[in-house]
Amino acid sequence: MSKPNNAKETKSLAKKIFNIVWYVIFALVVVCLLSVGITLLRGEQPSLFGYQMYYVLTDSMTGTIDKDDVVICKKYDGGQLQVGDVITFEAPEGFEPKAIVGQNITHRIVVAPYQDEDGTWVIETKGDANTLADRVPVPVANVRATYVSTSKFLAGLLRFLSKWYGFATLIILPLLGVLIFEVCKVTKIKSAEQKKITDDDYDRQRNEEMEKAVQEIRDGLTARDDLTNADGSPMTDEQKQEYIDEMVEKFREAMSKDRDSHGHNVSSE
């Protein structure tokens, strides 16, 4: 009997662990999306776990990165910059076109860091699709991040979340999901409780019927005066009581086996 109980306990524990893990993952996803959504509504660049996401504003990197893509970059921490690295930087004064001065641009380094006439460390950059390098050197201090990968999916998601209705959906959908999950959970619990009540009622009814039958057997055998032993001699009162107890025990065993083999199917009774 211990094996079924252990299996049931193990299954219950696994279910609890699954629910906890599911809630944690769900909460993390919601928190991350809320953080990104709030950042976008503020007009700032979203950042998660040290990685930043930037819109590509022009087609200067076409062939490597398309316009309107989102590039995933690792925040620049002052490490070494090399020729060939793709970086995101704040366009300095003198950058062309003038409209993107102060905006974040993603280009490739074509000249390694060096000091200009003012002693400022700068790099020279170029878009992969451009014929010429960028008009002015970029101060290393303007470098924001180094390129990791591109995501069109994130581009669409971030555009959606940057709108008020996208942010509202971000809040409503998770809440709706939690509500549906909890309703299903409560419904399942109530169903299980109702089934338990039904099973308990069935067991109680069967027990009452069995005890009534047992009493009838006892009364019927007690009233008989023709009970004899195997050798034909009449039973004494003590022998008669032992015989009745034996018959009742056999009846109980037969009833228990019948119930176990057919299960608790109230509707078929």
Sorted by where each begins, the domain ranges of the chain are 2-44, 47-162, 184-268
91-130: per-residue pLDDT in tens? 999 888 888 888 888 999 999 999 998 899 999 999 999 9
Instruction: Please check the confidence at residue 84 and state whether its pLDDT lies above 90.
Output: yes
CA distance 60 to 148: 18
**Beta partners for residue 122, in sequence order:** 114, 139
Render pLDDT for 215-254 as a digit per residue (tens, 0 to 9): 888 888 888 877 788 787 888 888 888 888 888 888 878 8
Angle in degrees, 0-180, between the axes of helices 164-223 and 152-161, rounded to the nearest 10 = 90
Q: What is the pLDDT of residues 144-187, one digit of tens each?
A: 999 988 877 776 676 676 666 766 676 677 777 777 877 877 77
pTM of the predicted structure, to 2 decimals = 0.48
To the question of domain 47-162 being in CATH 2.10.109.10, the answer is: yes
Q: Mean pLDDT across the stretch 27-54? A: 67
User: What is residue 40's predicted lDDT score, i.e. its pLDDT?
Assistant: 57
